[in-house]
């Protein structure tokens, strides 16, 4: 197993003109579709799956992988430009990215996202090439108890996302967790809060909820004080990063990459956890922490690199164990089976050209994305200068189609509208939407793993502290909670005293 | 009597308590179980109780702590109704009319929400976007929706 | 553009005329326009794969487009609800599986379509055996007999994973438990990939899993295969005995077939059925399916109808015996 010769084998596959071409097509399609609100990689790959039937397996997978990270990238573009996170992992990017865009720094935010993602993608690909099997072993160590503890840590960290009042952020997280309970209960099969609507049996769809609460709600807010908005988007200054910007993003990019590479390996939401864990971390560590929530460039750099690193390493469970870690990977497995390759633990030895070709193509795909997207930044930024009264109907139109495309059903369009109202009421009451969405994503995983762990341990709660991994995660969560609550409490006390 | 110092948070806290009560009410038939054998109702009920507690805390704070300065809200009910009902209408007529007319109606409808809207622009934008979306979604991406639905005479297909 | 549009109008008008004028001879010129194949599950899954393979061939043989439309949700009920509501003229047909067309009839109190009317079965396309895999560190057993003895010695102490409550994978476990009187704890997951991961890692002791993915884990030595749930041995794991050799009559396969909405003219159902049978009998198609670990079937419409009735009754008994809560 000589790494160099393996990489050469991979390069000889990935750099075939045909495979480069399909990789490029994948990245291009992925980016194009990612910037359309609501159309994420899952829907796109599902729609384009039939096209790959006629291709050789390597080309098909390289193209699908290109769509995956292209769409991931495009999702952050909409998050930054119009406050519309198309992917769960870009919810966090929307917080500071959109504020940067409002301050006229959309170009810098997009460039940060592109460069941070490229760096993270490169590092994660090297990691994938060198240490895929040992990293996969880490994933196997995460049983239900460990997942539960990790989710607790994630929830605690998400409190840090809020820039306003702490109790209100906590209320939003809990509300999000409660929305996550809608649908069939995994453990007992009992439907909860479905009101006999078949579409609700699988729960509320994240993309529909997020488009309502972020996208539609943002449009409503902008329409309310329309004249104000045209002045509030400052004139676009400087498309590129300044020296100062570069200095500020190096640390966050490195830390985000490290966190993302590790958490991405965990099947089921690792990459998404990584994006906001890294945001929460930067908010603690950064010397510019006061700027967070108001357009801090670190708040774009960290989650974007974490998310892209995680996207690359999320291939590890699939490529080394044959087990897909998220819906996109499940689709890739479907594509592989159609091509006559059943992914399994032996895929590295049975199909070395495919395995190493995919790895090398990930890097070349990331390179293509950066080359493709840096020149596009100017175009995207110009899009913001389109008069708002022409822009917002188009956004609504694409949101409707995007919501429809999730399950080819209009039900999700209604859900999106409904959550537009919910988001609007919450914003009137000054509740922040980001913690709600995170609670909504984490809720089902938290509950499922809690109850699964209790089921396996026959109702013995010590299972969460008996595993050293789970125990350390819980202890870490306790420390983070103390850190988050401490300044809040002291501030409250001061306020009470000054009364 | 106590004077409420932050009306917005007072209402916010009460809203959260109401949401929690709604969840408890609609989940009343779910088995709760206990901490060792959790039923499907356990998690929602515990969360609801937690949300009631947090809601109460927000209410108490709103009575004690002054509100920070914030800009007064403006209400624009027409815009609100158009933007919310536009997608609902889209959902209702999509299968009947097909993508092209539905998209056109949606765009022209929601565009009226803006105070800068003018009919000529809206109609042009509507035409442009319905052509684009038909090309992109029904031709390229093969979304299972036809350009013209069965309600459109001559052009429509099922 | 213009010419195309005119041609389209003519084609649609012709279709209207043809279907309206002579319903008795509907099968002769069927299909005269695009046919939609509803797949009530997400793209990329097994049902979708079979649906696409068959649609592609129908397309070639009948000279009309057969378009696959994914309508996932609620265990297949949403897509089937749509299928039931569409016009029974043969221009909308759909895929169905053991879960959506045999188990859900009992598992769900209400369905978005009439349980009595059901669907017109066209043909059973293929069936996938499940394989019972155990984590070798957790379960010290080399055969089903040893496993039963092992589980009887420690009742309720061992766990089996599934892809969800009421799935064919879960009910295979319940079938084993009711037929042998063993007690195990059921640990449901959302989908089978997380479940098999936890069996490989040893967090859960065993599970029944669809053969294509499980066979890879078996070959890599991550889990041990004790038996397959089809009546015959599976081509992907020829050395593994059948469950039926230990527990007579044990059969729990995940089957996939083609259906038409209730009230579709029998001539059209018959025509489609003959085509599907021919497609499945084609050696190239057979080889392709077998390489995936799938057993090609290609039954007649009548055979399929009897089969569904038997399956529905069998799973209804298991659900009642195992006290699976109804949804």
ipTM: 0.92
Q: What per-residue confidence (pLDDT) applies to B141?
A: 73
Same domain, yes or no: C234 and C144: yes
As to burial, measured by CB atoms within 10 angstroms (0-12 exposed, 13-18 middle, 19+ buried), residue B117 is middle
Instruction: Return the DSSP state at A283.
Output: H
Check CB contact under 8 Å for B143 and A397: no
| Chain C residues touching residue A190 (CB < 8 angstroms) | 325, 327
Counting every residue, how long is chain C?
327
Per-residue pLDDT band at A487 (split at 50, 70, 90):
low
Q: From chain A, pick out residues whose CB is under 8 angstroms from the CB of B103.
A: 397, 401
Task: Report d(CA C90, CA B1) in Å as an integer.
Answer: 73
Q: Which one of C217, C245, C273 terminates a domain?
A: C245
Spatial CB neighbours of A470, under 8 Å, sequence gap ≥ 6:
A145, A146, A148, A149, A463, A464
Which tokens belong to B8? 């917005």
Shared domain check, B82 and B45: no
The reply to whether residue A174 touches residue B47, judged by beta carbons under 8 angstroms, is yes
Q: How many separate domains does chain C show?
A: 2
Residue B1, Cβ density class (10 Å: 0-12 exposed, 13-18 middle, ≥19 buried): exposed
**Touching chains, B (3+ CB pairs < 8 A):** A, C
Same domain, B93 and B127: yes
What does the pLDDT average to over A8-22? 87
Nearest CA in chain B to C12: B157
A413: which 2 tokens?
């369009």
For the CA atoms of A110, A116, A122, A125, what is the dihedral angle to 10 degrees? -90
CA atoms within 13 A on the CB side of A30: 31
Chains near A, with 3+ CB pairs < 8 A?
A: B, C
Q: Do C217 and A345 touch (CB under 8 A)?
A: yes
Q: Which domain holds residue C157?
A: 129-245
Domain holding C154: CATH number?
3.40.190.10
Residue after which a domain boundary falls, among C198, C213, C245: C245
Kindly report the backbone phi and psi dihedral angles of residue A103, in degrees, each rounded to the nearest multiple of 5, phi listed first.
-85, 10
* pLDDT average, residue stretch A242-264: 88
The answer to whether the CB atoms of C87 and B158 lie below 8 A apart is: yes
Among C245, C278, C304, where does a domain finish? C245
DSSP character string of A167-198: HHHHHHHHHHHHHTT-EE-TTT--EES-TT-G
The pLDDT score that the predictor gives to residue B18 is: 95
Which of chain A's residues have a Cβ under 8 Å away from the Cβ of C216? 322, 342-346
User: In 10 A of CB C308, how many CB atoms?
Assistant: 22
Res A496: pLDDT: 45
d(CA A79, CA A304) in angstroms, rounded, equals: 11
Asked whether residue B155 is domain-assigned, the answer is no
List residues bridging with C37 in a β-sheet. Answer: C68, C93
Q: How far apart are CA A74 and CA A87, in angstroms?
A: 9
DSSP labels for C186-202? EEE-SSHHHHHHHHHHT
Say if B112 falls within a structural domain.
Answer: yes
Q: Chain A residues with CB inside 8 Å of B20's CB?
A: 178
A47 contacts B47? CB cut-off 8 A: no
Contacts of A44 in chain B (CB under 8 A): 141
Contact B154 C91 (CB under 8 A): no
Q: Do A50 and C52 touch (CB under 8 A)?
A: yes
C3 belongs to a structural domain: no
Size of the B and C interface in Cβ pairs below 8 Å: 17
In a domain, C108, yes or no: yes
Answer whether the bond into residue C31 is a cis peptide, omega within 30°.
yes
Residues of C in contact with A53 (CB under 8 A): 52, 56
Closest alpha carbon within chain C to A409: C71
Chain C residues touching A443 at Cβ < 8 A? none
CA–CA gap between residue A23 and residue A14 (Å, rounded): 9
pLDDT of residue C22: 42
> Are the beta carbons of A220 and A420 closer than 8 angstroms?
yes
Indicate the pLDDT class of residue A413, thresholds 50, 70 and 90.
Answer: very high
Instruction: Give the mutation candidate from B91, B102, B124, B147 for the A interface (greatest A CB count, under 10 A).
Output: B91
Alpha helices by DSSP H, listed for chain B, are 7-26, 42-64, 77-97, 99-111, 119-133
CA-to-CA dists, residue B96 to A324, B146, B150, B153, angstroms: 38, 10, 6, 11
- Pair (B95, B40) in one structural domain: no
Q: Residue written as tokens 């889209």?
A: B90
Q: How far is C138 from C158, CA to CA, in rounded Å? A: 9
Residues B131 and B91 in one domain: yes
Name the minimum distance, in Å, from the CA of A224 to any CA of chain B: 6
In a domain, C76, yes or no: yes
Question: CA A64, CA A41: separation in Å to the nearest integer?
Answer: 9
Contact B121 A167 (CB under 8 A): no
Both C148 and C287 in a single domain?
no
Token reading at C92:
């909308």
> Each residue of A21-74: pLDDT tens digit?
988 988 888 888 888 777 777 777 877 777 777 788 888 888 888 888 888 888
Inform me whether the pLDDT recorded for B20 exceeds 80. Answer: yes
Q: Which residue has the tokens 């009319």?
A: B97
In angstroms, rounded to a whole number, what is the distance separating the alpha carbons of residues A48 and A25? 12
Distance between CA A38 and CA C200 in Å, rounded?
Answer: 35
Residues B113 and B134 in one domain: yes
Q: How far apart are CA A285 and CA A300, in angstroms?
A: 15
Q: Do B144 and C8 touch (CB under 8 A)?
A: no
- Per-residue pLDDT band at A238 (split at 50, 70, 90): low
**Helix (H) or strand (E) segment spanning residue A70:** helix A57-82
Q: Is the Cα torsion angle A269, A271, A273, A276 positive or negative in sign?
A: negative
User: Is the domain of C119 the same as that of C156?
Assistant: no
C112 and C260, same domain (yes or no) = yes
3-state secondary structure of C153: helix
- Main-chain dihedrals φ then ψ at residue A273, nearest 5 degrees: -60, -40
Please give the residue that has the higher pLDDT: either B19 or B72: B19
How do residues A302-359 score in pLDDT, each as one tens digit?
999 998 898 888 888 888 887 777 778 878 887 887 777 777 777 777 888 888 888 8
Supply the pLDDT for residue A226: 66
Strands C159-162, C185-188: pairing kind: parallel
Q: Shortest CB distance from A46 goes to which of C44, C194, C222?
A: C44
CATH number of the domain bearing residue C302:
3.40.190.150
Q: Are residues B57 and B81 in the same domain?
A: no
Q: Least CB-CB distance to B114: which of A48, A174, A389?
A: A389
User: Does some domain include residue C29?
Assistant: no
Domain holding B42, by residue range, is 7-64
> Domain for residue B96, yes or no?
yes
Task: Tell if the CB–CB gap between C69 and B155 is shorter than 8 Å.
Answer: no
Q: Which residues of B touch C (CB under 8 A)?
A: 142, 144, 154-158
CB contacts under 8 A, C 29-88 vs A, are: 42-45, 48-49, 52, 56, 68-75, 77-78, 81
B1 within domain boundaries: no
Q: Which of A233, A250, A232 is nearest to A241 (CA)?
A: A250
Angstrom distance (rounded) from CA C99 to CA A268? 25
Alpha-carbon gap: A436 to the closest alpha carbon of chain C (Å): 23
Mutate to test the interface with A, among B10, B47, B129 (most CBs of A within 10 A): B47
* Cross-chain Cβ contact B158/C91 below 8 Å: yes
Please give the average per-residue pLDDT across C285-289, as a whole number: 88
Asked if B88 and B59 sit in the same domain, the reply is no
* CB-based contact C198 A45, cutoff 8 Å: no
Compute the count of residue pairs across chains A and C with CB atoms less than 8 Å apart.
150
Set of chain A residues whose Cβ sits within 8 Å of the Cβ of B48:
178
The pLDDT confidence band at residue B72, using thresholds 50, 70 and 90, is low
Whether B110 contacts B82, CB under 8 Å: yes
Same-domain check for residues B86 and B136: yes
Q: How far is B70 from chain C (nearest CA, A)?
A: 44
Residue C192 contacts residue C209 (beta carbons within 8 Å): yes
Residue C15: pLDDT above 60?
Answer: no
| Shared-domain flag, residues C239 and C226 | yes
d(CA A58, CA A46): 18
pLDDT reading at A16 higher than 50: yes
Our CA-based measurement puts residue B3 at a distance from the nearest CA of chain A, in whole angstroms, of 14
Task: Name the domain count of chain B.
Answer: 2
- Residue C147: what pLDDT? 93
**Is C326 domain-assigned?**
no
Cβ contacts of B97 on chain A, cutoff 8 Å: none
Residue C125: per-residue pLDDT: 92
- Is the residue at B124 inside a domain? yes
Q: pLDDT (tens digit, 9 = 90+) per residue, A358-376? A: 888 888 888 988 888 888 8
Does residue C110 register a pLDDT over 50? yes
Do the chains contact at C9 and B154, CB–CB below 8 Å? yes
Domain endpoint, select from B38, B64, B90: B64
Residue reference for tokens 């389209």: C8
Q: Is the pLDDT of residue B54 over 70?
A: yes
> Do C133 and C116 lie in a common domain?
no
The verdict on C65 touching B (C-beta cutoff 8 Å) is no
Choose among A231, A207, A434, A389: nearest CA to B83: A389
Q: Give CA–CA dist A41/A47, Å, rounded.
A: 10
Phi, psi of B115 (to 5 degrees): -75, -15
Residue B71 falls inside a structural domain: no
B45 and B88 assigned to the same domain: no
A6: pLDDT strictly greater than 70: yes
């Amino acid at each position: 197993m000589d790494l160099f010769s393996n990489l050469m084998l991979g390069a000889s596959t990935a750099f075939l003109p045909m495979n480069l071409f399909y990789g490029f097509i994948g990245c291009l399609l992925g980016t194009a579709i990612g910037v359309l609100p609501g159309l994420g990689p899952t829907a796109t790959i599902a729609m384009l799956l039939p096209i790959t039937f006629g291709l050789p397996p390597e080309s098909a997978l390289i193209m699908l992988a290109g769509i995956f990270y292209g769409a991931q990238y495009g999702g952050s573009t909409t998050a930054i430009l119009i406050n519309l996170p198309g992917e769960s992992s870009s919810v966090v990017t929307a917080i500071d990215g959109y504020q940067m865009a409002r301050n006229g720094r959309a170009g810098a935010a997009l460039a940060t996202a592109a460069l941070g993602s490229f760096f993270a993608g490169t590092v994660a690909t090297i990691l994938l090439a060198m240490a895929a099997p040992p990293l996969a072993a880490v994933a196997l160590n995460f049983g239900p108890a460990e997942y539960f503890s990790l989710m607790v840590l994630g929830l605690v960290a998400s409190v840090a996302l809020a820039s306003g009042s702490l109790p209100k952020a906590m209320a939003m997280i809990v509300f999000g967790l409660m929305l996550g309970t809608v649908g069939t209960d995994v453990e007992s099969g009992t439907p909860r809060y479905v009101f006999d609507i078949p579409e609700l049996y699988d729960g509320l769809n994240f993309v529909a909820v997020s488009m309502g609460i972020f996208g539609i709600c943002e449009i409503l807010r902008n329409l309310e004080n329309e004249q104000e908005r045209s002045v509030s988007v400052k004139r676009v200054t400087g498309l590129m990063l300044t020296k100062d910007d570069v200095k500020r993003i190096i640390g966050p990019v490195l830390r985000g990459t490290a966190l993302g590479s590790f958490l991405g390996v965990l099947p089921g939401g690792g990459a998404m956890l990584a994006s906001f864990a890294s945001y929460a971390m930067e908010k603690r560590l950064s010397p510019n922490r006061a700027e967070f929530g108001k357009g801090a460039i670190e708040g774009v750099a960290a989650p974007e690199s974490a998310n892209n690193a995680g996207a690359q390493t999320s291939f590890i469970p699939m490529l080394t164990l044959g087990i897909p870690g998220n819906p996109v990977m499940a689709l890739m497995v479907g594509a592989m089976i159609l091509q006559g390759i059943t992914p399994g633990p032996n895929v590295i030895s049975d199909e070395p050209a495919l395995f190493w070709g995919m790895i090398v193509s990930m890097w070349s795909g990331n390179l293509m994305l950066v080359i493709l997207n840096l020149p596009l930044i100017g175009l995207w930024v110009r899009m913001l200068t389109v008069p708002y009264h022409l822009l917002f109907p188009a956004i609504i139109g694409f949101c409707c189609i995007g919501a429809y495309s999730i399950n080819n059903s209009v039900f999700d369009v209604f859900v999106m509208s409904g959550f537009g109202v919910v988001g609007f009421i919450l914003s009137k009451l000054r509740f922040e939407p980001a913690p709600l969405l995170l609670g909504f994503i984490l809720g089902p995983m938290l509950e499922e793993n809690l109850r699964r762990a209790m089921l396996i341990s026959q109702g013995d709660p010590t299972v969460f502290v008996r595993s050293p991994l789970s125990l350390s995660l819980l202890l870490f969560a306790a420390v983070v909670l103390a850190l988050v609550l401490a300044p809040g409490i002291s501030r409250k006390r001061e306020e009470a005293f000054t009364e | 009597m106590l004077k409420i110092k932050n009306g917005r948070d007072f209402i916010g806290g009460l809203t959260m308590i109401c949401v929690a009560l709604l969840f408890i009410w609609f989940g009343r038939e779910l088995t709760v179980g206990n901490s060792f054998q959790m039923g499907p109702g356990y998690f929602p009920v515990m969360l609801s109780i937690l949300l009631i507690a947090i809601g109460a805390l927000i209410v108490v704070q709103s009575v004690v702590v002054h509100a920070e300065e914030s800009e007064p809200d403006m209400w624009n009910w027409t815009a609100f109704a158009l933007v919310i009902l536009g997608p609902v209408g889209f959902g209702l007529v999509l299968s009947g009319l097909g993508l092209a007319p539905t998209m056109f109606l949606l765009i022209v409808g929601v565009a009226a929400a803006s105070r800068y809207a003018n009919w000529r622009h809206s109609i042009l934008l509507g035409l442009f976007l319905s052509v684009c979306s038909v090309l992109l979604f029904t031709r390229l991406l093969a979304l299972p929706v036809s350009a013209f639905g069965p309600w459109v005479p001559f052009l429509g297909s099922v | 553009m213009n010419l195309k549009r005119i041609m389209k109008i003519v084609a649609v008008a012709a279709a209207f005329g043809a279907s309206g004028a002579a319903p008795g001879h509907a099968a002769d010129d069927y299909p005269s326009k695009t046919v939609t194949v509803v797949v009530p599950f997400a793209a990329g899954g097994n049902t979708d794969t079979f649906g696409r393979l068959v649609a592609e061939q129908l397309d070639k043989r009948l000279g009309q487009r057969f378009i696959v439309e994914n309508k996932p949700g609620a265990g297949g009920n949403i897509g089937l609800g749509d299928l039931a509501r569409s016009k029974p003229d043969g221009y909308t047909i759909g895929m169905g599986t053991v879960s959506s067309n045999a188990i859900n009839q009992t598992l769900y109190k209400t369905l978005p379509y009439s349980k009595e009317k059901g669907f017109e079965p066209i043909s059973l396309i293929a069936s996938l055996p499940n394989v019972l895999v155990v984590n070798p560190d957790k379960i010290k057993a080399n055969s089903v007999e040893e496993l039963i003895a092992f589980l009887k010695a420690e009742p309720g102490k061992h766990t089996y994973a599934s892809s969800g409550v009421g799935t064919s994978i879960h009910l295979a476990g319940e079938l084993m438990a009711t037929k042998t009187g063993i007690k195990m704890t059921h640990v449901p997951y959302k989908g089978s990939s997380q479940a098999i991961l936890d069996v490989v890692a040893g967090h859960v002791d065993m599970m029944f899993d669809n053969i294509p993915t499980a066979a890879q884990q078996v070959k890599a030595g991550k889990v041990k295969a004790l038996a397959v749930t089809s009546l015959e041995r599976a081509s992907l794991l020829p050395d593994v005995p059948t469950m039926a050799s230990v527990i007579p009559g044990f059969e729990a396969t995940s089957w996939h077939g083609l259906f038409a909405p209730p009230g579709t003219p029998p001539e059209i159902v018959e025509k489609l059925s003959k085509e599907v049978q021919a497609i499945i009998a084609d050696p190239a198609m057979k080889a392709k399916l077998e390489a995936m670990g799938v057993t090609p079937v290609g039954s007649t419409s009548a055979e399929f109808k009897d089969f569904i009735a038997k399956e529905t009754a069998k799973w209804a008994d298991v659900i009642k015996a195992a006290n699976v809560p109804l949804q």
